[in-house]
Chain A
Amino acid sequence: MILQALDNYYRRRAAHPEPARRLPAVGLVEQPIGYLIEIDPAGRLVQLQKTGEMRGKKHEPSRFLVPRGVKKTSGVAANLLWDSAEYVLGVDTRGKPERVAEQHAAFRAKLAALPEAVASDTGIRAVQAFFDRLDLAALAQLPQWADIADTNPTMTFRLLGDDALVCQRPALQAAPEPTDDDATLEAAICLVRGQPDTVARLHPAIKGVWGAQTSGANIVSFNLDAFNSYGKTQGNNAPIGETAAQTYTTALNALLARDSTNRVQVGDASTVFWADVDDEPMEAGLAFLLGEPAKDDDPDRGIAAVQAIFKAIESGRYQHEAGSRRFHVLALAPNAARIAIRDYHDLPLAELAPRIKRHFDDLAIQGGPNDPPHPSLFRLLAALAAQGKADNIPPRLGGEVLRSVLDGRPYPAQLINLAVLRCRAERKVTYARAAMIKAWLNRDVRAKHTEEKEFQVMLDTSNNHPGYRLGRLFAALEKIQEEAQPGINATIRERFYGAASSTPATVFATLLRLSNHHLAKLKPGRKVNLERLLGEISGGLADFPAHLSLPDQGRFALGYYHQRQDFFTKRSADTDNTAPRSNEHGHRPPLRLRPPVRCEGRQPQRRP
């Protein structure tokens, strides 16, 4: 499944119409090359060209596609047509002339070993001629020589007038790949492609998994005795052909690359995703669902990406053939120098798309003008962590929430526990927490098929759940106090939120008595209005329960949040006559550019 899917992705990207997005052919890898030796067809040196540019104080050579190199250890082993200056030119850079002579000989032997059809290529012949007339003393006169002798850069050949390197010439690519002369290799059925192939003993490294070694780690590797089965060693434990080993690693490395738009970090798992079709809006949408867009990015880009999905669903894009195309999400995490599969989802777009929409619909809740309409998973989780720090998010929570979203199942219980505890600890129900609580409760209600009503985007006066009613009542009592004693330091929220939400019976009697004194300070008209509101809210309440369970405390927080938002919207409706802003899809005002939204718990970026 995973490797097959990556192999298929490789095949698609290797045949991509745009050369810039095409993945390299099997057998080629991207390597930094320091110098290009430009020669004419007769083998005369035209110039030594230094590649790349300065990045800061360091010179970074450009990267070129070259034939896959051999895995080098302490011995002498040459690559085909590209290598370090010691190998290519036989320049002694470290005072070991015998070894360098051996290296250069190995490099030329590799060239001489090419099959006849390839050796007759103009490029190869020119390289051979170059070596026949190689004169190090003359080369030493060149201005670049000091740099070469000093740094021992990688170098390769280019023919005068060619755009491509000699090692990229069509004749070489058509040639069968030289196999490693390793005696333990076996031919077997490749379990990725199902065709006979030489078994790859070691697989190319996968780079870019956060937390793994920078030189790369492997998914398929057998690095201890206990991992071997039936007396087999290394790759023979899992017969994967050389070709498939190349293709899946190339594809995965491309997905994981630093500038890839198909990767995000979810907690400690590096997550990549890809669709079976080109230009799938879901790819951009998922990137936004999971991660926060780069700070200097346009904050509306993510909103636009999510709305593109909604639009695609509404237009029926996923109904027929396109809906049966599959979408893959793969989460990787390092474990002891290896890469572990944290999670893998592979599902048809027709199912995924409505689940993504469902997630955002569940989250939708009335917010302030600066709250993002479609909060990302990262932002939500950060709002549940102590001090709003991403470091304090429990390690596997992100992955579990993502799994719930993709499976369309209830969110993990841990989520509501954290949200309620954060609300209580900080005595503050923020937009992100309220959204998370609402989404959790609604999914829970749906999964349990109870009679309970789902929570709405805005205040729902018909909801009779005691938790919700008590939350509303608490917000109303706080409002009365605020109006009676404007600007006081500690309101009843600071002092009573925790007790009111967990053990209502103990505090509400006190709170109601207090509110009588507060009401007495108000103007008669306002007093009547607020008393009517209190009556309306407590009308649905039979009794004050002795204690509320965690989900009920979530309902309390939601009732409090809704009622409070309701006070604000009414006021704004009175003063500037704008319609209350709704997050519900379809009722949103048109997109407009806003300053970067502030992320809960993170400092907004200050520009100089």
Chain B
Amino acid sequence: MNRFCLEVSGDFACFTRPEMKVERVSYDLITPSAARNVFQAILWKPEIDWRIHRIEVLKPIRWINLRRNEVGKTVPAGAVASAMKQGRGALGLYIEEERQQRAGLFLRDVGYRLHAELTVKPEARAANPLAKYREMFARRAERGQCVNQPYLGCREFAASFRLVDPLSEPADRQDLSEADRAELGFGKPRDLGYMLHDLDFSDPADPQPRFFRAELHDGAMAVPDWQEALA
């Protein structure tokens, strides 16, 4: 089996929508690319790929509104280059001077089960058996090891994770009320509109986004294959 299921949870989350990313508004649940990053935080090598198949929502969708101070500027590369060359000038920027207060509509108290598949890239398969990475991931995830702390959309929203076997340990949704279950698509699928699938990095200078029609079906969102997403 090269499929894994991670249960992640956190107090806050923000999976920022591209159209409302300045004054942030989150998607209703974790996006496939954010889920991929959770797996990559535990194990990533240049020769492997993670593909998200399914996302289960364990807790009701709750929101919180708050404002945060963020930085409103990027370091100008040209100015840095000339400063390096001349040996004087500013290399950085001061957050106190470039502050932007940004409002955000975030998720709070979230819990998901992320189902992903581990593959080795075709060009690397000969020298690298899949079993190697599978064992690495299982060992690391069980011990709670990670390269960086997995997070829920923004680095400041840390996620705790746990490797689970969905067959022996089905998702616990006892606490959901009837209205919450309806919102999670139990009984009748709930349309969530178009969601970001991931970015196509084949041209690193100009990555292209792909979208898919997200739908919650009995508390779970099926993620289509990359090729099927709208480009």
Known: A3-B19, A231-B206. A343 touches B105 (CB 8 A): yes
The proximity string for A residues 33-65 relative to B, scoring 1 for CB distances below 8 Å and 0 otherwise, is 000000000000000000000000000000000
**Which A-B residue pairs are the 4 nearest by beta carbons?**
A340-B103, A340-B23, A238-B18, A238-B19
B194/A2 in contact, CB under 8 A: no
Known: A191-B194, A225-B73. A219 touches B28 (CB 8 A): no
B102/A335 in contact, CB under 8 A: yes
Known: A342-B65, A348-B182. A226 touches B71 (CB 8 A): yes
The proximity string for A residues 202-232 relative to B, scoring 1 for CB distances below 8 Å and 0 otherwise, is 0000000000000000011111111111111
B131 an interface residue at 8 Å Cβ cutoff? no
Known: A1-B193, A4-B193, A341-B105. A227 touches B211 (CB 8 A): no
B213/A225 in contact, CB under 8 A: no
Pick from A220, A226, A340: contact of B70, CB under 8 Å:
A226
6 A-B interface contacts by CB (under 8 A)? A3-B19, A226-B71, A227-B21, A338-B22, A342-B105, A344-B63
B102/A219 in contact, CB under 8 A: no
CB B202 to nearest CB in A, in angstroms, measures 13
B23/A341 in contact, CB under 8 A: yes
Pick from A220, A230, A335: contact of B67, CB under 8 Å:
A335
Alpha-carbon gap, A6 to B50, bound state (A): 35
A1/B192 in contact, CB under 8 A: yes
A227: B residues at CB distance < 8 A: 21-22, 72
A2/B25 in contact, CB under 8 A: yes
A2/B207 in contact, CB under 8 A: no
CB B94 to nearest CB in A, in angstroms, measures 14
Count the A-B residue pairs with Cβ separation under 8 angstroms: how many?
Answer: 105
B154 an interface residue at 8 Å Cβ cutoff? no
A230/B72 in contact, CB under 8 A: no
Shortest Cβ distance from B76 into A: residue: A225
B82: A residues at CB distance < 8 A: none
CB B150 to nearest CB in A, in angstroms, measures 21
CB A83 to nearest CB in B, in angstroms, measures 32
B105/A226 in contact, CB under 8 A: no
B205/A231 in contact, CB under 8 A: yes
B100 an interface residue at 8 Å Cβ cutoff? yes
A32 an interface residue at 8 Å Cβ cutoff? no
Shortest Cβ distance from A224 into B: residue: B72
B194/A339 in contact, CB under 8 A: no
A530: B residues at CB distance < 8 A: none
B211/A194 in contact, CB under 8 A: yes
Shortest Cβ distance from B194 into A: residue: A191
A230/B206 in contact, CB under 8 A: yes
A253: B residues at CB distance < 8 A: none
B101 an interface residue at 8 Å Cβ cutoff? yes
Shortest Cβ distance from B177 into A: residue: A408
B91 an interface residue at 8 Å Cβ cutoff? no
CB B167 to nearest CB in A, in angstroms, measures 33
A240 an interface residue at 8 Å Cβ cutoff? yes
A230/B199 in contact, CB under 8 A: yes
Shortest Cβ distance from A195 into B: residue: B230
Alpha-carbon gap, A223 to B73, bound state (A): 10
B22: A residues at CB distance < 8 A: 221-223, 227, 338
CB A192 to nearest CB in B, in angstroms, measures 7
Alpha-carbon gap, A220 to B25, bound state (A): 11
B65/A343 in contact, CB under 8 A: yes
Residue count of chain A within 8 Å CB distance of chain B: 45
Alpha-carbon gap, A228 to B19, bound state (A): 11
A526 an interface residue at 8 Å Cβ cutoff? no
B21: A residues at CB distance < 8 A: 227, 229, 237-238
Known: A225-B73, A230-B199. A194 touches B194 (CB 8 A): yes
The proximity string for B residues 12-24 relative to A, scoring 1 for CB distances below 8 Å and 0 otherwise, is 0000011111110
Shortest Cβ distance from A347 into B: residue: B183
A239 an interface residue at 8 Å Cβ cutoff? yes
Pick from B20, B70, B207, B209: contact of A341, CB under 8 Å:
B20
A189/B65 in contact, CB under 8 A: no
Shortest Cβ distance from B16 into A: residue: A229
B174: A residues at CB distance < 8 A: none
B206/A220 in contact, CB under 8 A: no
CB B158 to nearest CB in A, in angstroms, measures 22
Pick from B20, B67, B230: contact of A2, CB under 8 Å:
B20
A338: B residues at CB distance < 8 A: 22-23
A219: B residues at CB distance < 8 A: 19-20, 23
CB A366 to nearest CB in B, in angstroms, measures 31
A399 an interface residue at 8 Å Cβ cutoff? yes
A230: B residues at CB distance < 8 A: 199, 206-207
B211/A189 in contact, CB under 8 A: yes
Alpha-carbon gap, A403 to B64, bound state (A): 10
The proximity string for A residues 462-494 relative to B, scoring 1 for CB distances below 8 Å and 0 otherwise, is 000000000000000000000000000000000
B25/A344 in contact, CB under 8 A: yes
B103/A408 in contact, CB under 8 A: no
Please provide the chain A residues from 341 to 399 with a CB less than 8 Å away from any CB of chain B in the complex: 341-344, 347-348, 351, 396, 399
Alpha-carbon gap, A399 to B74, bound state (A): 34
A336 an interface residue at 8 Å Cβ cutoff? yes
Shortest Cβ distance from B231 into A: residue: A189
Shortest Cβ distance from A220 into B: residue: B19
A399: B residues at CB distance < 8 A: 65
B179 an interface residue at 8 Å Cβ cutoff? yes
A188: B residues at CB distance < 8 A: 208
Known: A219-B23, A240-B19. A224 touches B73 (CB 8 A): yes
B98: A residues at CB distance < 8 A: 226
Shortest Cβ distance from B179 into A: residue: A351
Known: A226-B72, A336-B100, A396-B65. A341 touches B25 (CB 8 A): yes
B179/A226 in contact, CB under 8 A: no
A224/B100 in contact, CB under 8 A: yes
A335/B211 in contact, CB under 8 A: no
Pick from B73, B179, B183: contact of A408, CB under 8 Å:
B179
Please provide the chain A residues from 219 to 267 with a CB less than 8 Å away from any CB of chain B in the complex: 219-232, 237-240
Known: A191-B18, A226-B71, A396-B65. A335 touches B194 (CB 8 A): no
CB A359 to nearest CB in B, in angstroms, measures 15
A333 an interface residue at 8 Å Cβ cutoff? yes
CB B74 to nearest CB in A, in angstroms, measures 4
A194/B105 in contact, CB under 8 A: no
A342/B103 in contact, CB under 8 A: yes
CB A210 to nearest CB in B, in angstroms, measures 15
Please provide the chain B residues from 103 to 136 with a CB less than 8 Å away from any CB of chain A in the complex: 103, 105
CB A461 to nearest CB in B, in angstroms, measures 34
Alpha-carbon gap, A327 to B181, bound state (A): 18
